[in-house]
Chains A and B, each alone.
Chain A
Amino acid sequence: EIVLTQSPGTLSLSPGERATLSCRASQSVSSSLAWYQQKPGQAPRLLIYGASSRATGIPDRFSGSGSGTDFTLTISRLEPEDFAVYYCQQYGSLWTFGQGTKVEIK
């Protein structure tokens, strides 16, 4: 099973700041990596697939990069609605999720 490790566990930032979230895979998943956003009491929402493609309706302040084992989700300027938990998921070998990064208001 491929293990995904997300860092940091919690990111404390202010609105308008840049957020950089990391996801590392225990073995290569090529570009088969997605990012999801989950707000309290809501279902996860797909943000990024194929490591760098934005899903339908996702604002361009969200961007993804990386391939192989190291991936990054960047939120260029945090909006109030962006404070949430973010999960990465690999689908190169069945599926696994990372443990999540919480982006909280500083």
Chain B
Amino acid sequence: EVQLLESGGGLVQPGGSLRLSCAASGFTFSNYAMTWVRQAPGRGLECVSAISDSGGSAYYADSVKGRFTISRDNSKNTLYLQMNSLRAEDTALYYCAKGARRSCSGASCYAFDYWGQETLVTVSS
């Protein structure tokens, strides 16, 4: 059974940092791309970052580019999201999700076939 368990969320002041983690099990982690998707309160879904199976390529939404860094440790079956210079508009539930493929092929990417249960990030003074 695929399981994705997020951690690391919390309350942080504007300009602060947090690191989210996602522990994966139930599949061969190193064979699949992984993503972070967020959902602001009462809002829709936004893919903020994605990383290929090997970690060799990464994607960032314009809203987080230069502030967030995605990484993975395939030896630990864990995905990370380092979030710096946090803003109020980053307040959201953050989900990690498994990609259905190893990586994008050009701009043609993949659906997200399994999702974790979320971690809440609140940016407020």
Contacts A43-B95, A92-B108; A49 near B113 (Cβ below 8 A): yes
Interface size of A as a range: 20 to 34
Cβ contact within 8 Å between B108 and A93? yes
- Which residues of A73-106 are within 8 A (CB) of B? 87, 89, 91-100
Cβ contact within 8 Å between B118 and A43? yes
Residues of A within 8 A of B47 (CB): 94-97
| A42, closest chain B residue (CB) | B117
Instruction: Please classify the interface of chain B as helix (H, G, I), strand (E, B), loop, or mixed, using the class held by over half of its residues.
Output: strand
Residues of B within 8 A of A50 (CB): 111
Query: Using a Cβ–Cβ cut-off of 8 Å, how many residues does chain B contribute to the interface with A?
Result: 22
Binary B-proximity of A7-47 (CB < 8 A = 1, otherwise 0): 00000000000000000000000001010100000111110
Name the contact of B100 in the complex, choosing from A43, A45, A49 (C-beta under 8 A). Answer: A49
CB distance from A48 to the nearest CB of B (A): 9
Cβ contact within 8 Å between A93 and B44? no
- Which residues of B12-63 are within 8 A (CB) of A? 37, 44-47, 50, 59
Cβ contact within 8 Å between A98 and B44? yes
**CA A91 to CA B108, docked complex, whole Å:** 6
Residues of B at the A interface (CB closer than 8 Å) are 37, 44-47, 50, 59, 95, 100, 104, 107-118
Residues of A at the B interface (CB closer than 8 Å) are 32, 34, 36, 42-46, 49-50, 55-56, 87, 89, 91-100
